[in-house]
Amino acid sequence: MENDISQSTFLDFSVIPLKEPLEILEKCDGSNQKKLLVVFNENDESEERFEFLKKILAAAKFDIKEDILLLKLTPEETFSFIALRTKVKQTHSSGGIDNLLIFGFEPKHFGLNLEVQKYVPFHFYESGFLFADGLSMIENDKALKGALWGGMKELFL
């Protein structure tokens, strides 16, 4: 067929540029002993917000250095969660990712075509997910803090 654009050079590039899983894994900090990936917006980072994040994690009995993989991303850094989970399983001493706690990003940022409700945990591809607003929004909002804690208790405790 002469008008088949899938056979032309028109689509010889990624429609959505995704970072390679190894490149994303190299940005992660922590030992991941409890197989939790925590993602937050690098543009939302400050010393106070990092301390707030540590308190959130400590309340759910996670040590920020030992128990999690901490990933700071910019909105321009998209990747496939499935590819990252596979890469972590293959290369990281922890052996994988069981849960994700995500601040300030939508599922499409991770290559997931899902419609989710923030603060309501769910399972998908053998992993638990909890999407929340950015740390800057949660930090000074008692209702959002309560919603986050409720979702975390349901997913982790």
Query: Which CATH number is 128's domain given?
Result: 3.40.470.10
CB 69 within 8 A of CB 37: yes
CB 62 within 8 A of CB 99: no
Give the count of domains, the chain.
1
Residue 68 lies in a domain: yes
Residue 1 lies in a domain: no
What is the Cα–Cα distance from 43 to 45, expressed in whole angstroms?
A: 6
CA distance readout (Å), 64 to 9, 38, 138, 150: 46, 9, 19, 20
Q: Single out the residue of 104, 29, 99, 101 nearest to residue 64, CA to CA.
A: 29
Domain that holds residue 74: 32-156
H-helix or E-strand spanning residue 131: strand 127-132
The number of angstroms, rounded, from the C-alpha of 141 to the middle of its chain's C-alpha atoms is 22
Better-scored residue on pLDDT, 154 or 7: 154
CA distance readout (Å), 71 to 42, 45, 65, 108, 146: 9, 12, 12, 17, 23
In DSSP notation, 37-52 reads EEEEEGGG--HHHHHH
* pLDDT tens per residue across span 14-73: 556 788 999 999 999 999 999 999 999 998 888 999 999 999 999 999 999 999 999 999
Q: Single out the residue of 143, 144, 139, 151 nearest to residue 54, CA to CA.
A: 139
* pLDDT tens per residue across span 93-108: 888 899 999 999 999 9
Residue 152 lies in a domain: yes
Residue 73 lies in a domain: yes
For the residues 8-14, what does the mean pLDDT come to?
A: 53
